[in-house]
Amino acid sequence: MSILEVKNLSFSYTGQTVLKNINFKITEGNYIALLGPNGSGKTTLIKILLGLLQSQKGKIILFGSALKKFNAWQNIGYLEQKANTPHNMPLTAFGVVRLGLLSTKKGLKLFNKEDNKKTDAIMKKLHCYSYKDKLFSELSGGQQQRVLLARTLINEPKFLILDEPSTALDSSSREEFFEIISALNEENKTTILLVTHDISQVGKYVNKFLILDKQIVFYGSKEDFCNSAEVTEYFGPYTQHLIDHLHTTGTCPLPHNHGHNCGHNHGGEML
Ligand SMILES: Nc1ncnc2c1ncn2[C@@H]1O[C@H](COP(=O)(O)OP(=O)(O)O)[C@@H](O)[C@H]1O
Ligand SMILES: [Mg+2]
């Protein structure tokens, strides 16, 4: 089943072209790492897919419907890069998670017992139940991120879009965070589009790479990407560095062709 199709998409902020002729398709069950240097248009692309920004050119199809007609938003979970959290509102962690249910409510209905049960359940699953009654604004960055993930997952979305979700997490929370996400992909077949710079931690879970630098530099399977070192000159320094990094961290299996430098230590620098 096709989850998302993007056709001939281009976008400019006043005067500055940020995305040029983007074409790709995501089918059900894939776990895709969306990678690219800072400013390469990743967040902009995501906002366009969700109808939060309007592109000047191109077509977007979500779950088989044109974006303009699409209304099953409860099927999509989105964790923003700079989460639009109610910092000024005195909401508890529980209150923030429960807000995730709003997209399923028609009109101004109040939350009921069932909603509270659902909220408790997802908070237990994501290990943030112990601070459910604390004010969201008083939680640590990592705790807030867990609460926001719980809010994103409460409707059990079929398509999950995460924009640099691990930035506020320490390295052990990061590992746990990515394990939770990958379990959703493995067990529930949740389709995932993940923007991250933690590719050494997450590379083992994803099955596709989408590399963006205003245009699509690469879109395909992890194996094809790992074996494409020969053409990295065309890819540019970001992608060259990424491939080297994937080899040194063991995310990419050593290719059959040993003609290039993989396997050697290129510094193992974090991307
Ligand atoms: N609201 C905006 N107005 C004008 N330019 C923007 C805006 N948001 C982002 N940009 C610019 O668009 C480019 C892509 O940004 P963004 O999509 O946030 O990149 P990424 O998420 O890959 O780091 C950058 O050059 C950024 O400065
Ligand atoms: Mg971004």
Q: Are 6 and 49 in contact (CB under 8 A)?
A: yes
For a pocket test of ligand 1, which of 11, 13, 38 has the largest count of ligand atoms closer than 8 A to its C-beta? 13
**CA–centroid distance for 65 within its chain:** 21
In a domain, 51, yes or no: no
State pLDDT tens for residues 5-51: 999 999 999 889 999 999 999 999 999 999 998 999 999 999 999 99
The domain containing residue 222 runs over which residues? 2-37+90-248
DSSP tally for the chain: helices H, then strands E = 9, 10
Protein residues with CB under 6 Å of any ligand 1 atom: 13, 18, 36, 38-44
Closest CA to 148 of 75, 85, 76, 73: 85
In a domain, 253, yes or no: no
Q: Which residues of 91-101 are buried (b: 16+ CB within 10 A; e: fewer)?
A: bbbbbbbbbbb
In a domain, 56, yes or no: no
Q: Are 219 and 209 in contact (CB under 8 A)?
A: yes
Residue 267 has pLDDT above 50, yes or no: no
Instruction: Categorize the per-residue pLDDT at 171 as very low, low, confident or very high, splitting at 50, 70 and 90.
Output: confident
Q: How far is CA 188 from CA 91, 130, 181, 192, in A?
A: 30, 26, 10, 11
Number of domains comprising the chain: 1
CATH number of the domain that residue 128 is part of: 3.40.50.300
State pLDDT tens for residues 238-247: 777 787 788 7
Q: Which ligand is nearest to the CA of 213?
A: 1
Q: Which ligand is nearest to the CA of 48?
A: 1
Check residue 62 and give its pLDDT: 98
For a pocket test of ligand 1, which of 10, 43, 52 has the largest count of ligand atoms closer than 8 A to its C-beta? 43
pTM: 0.88
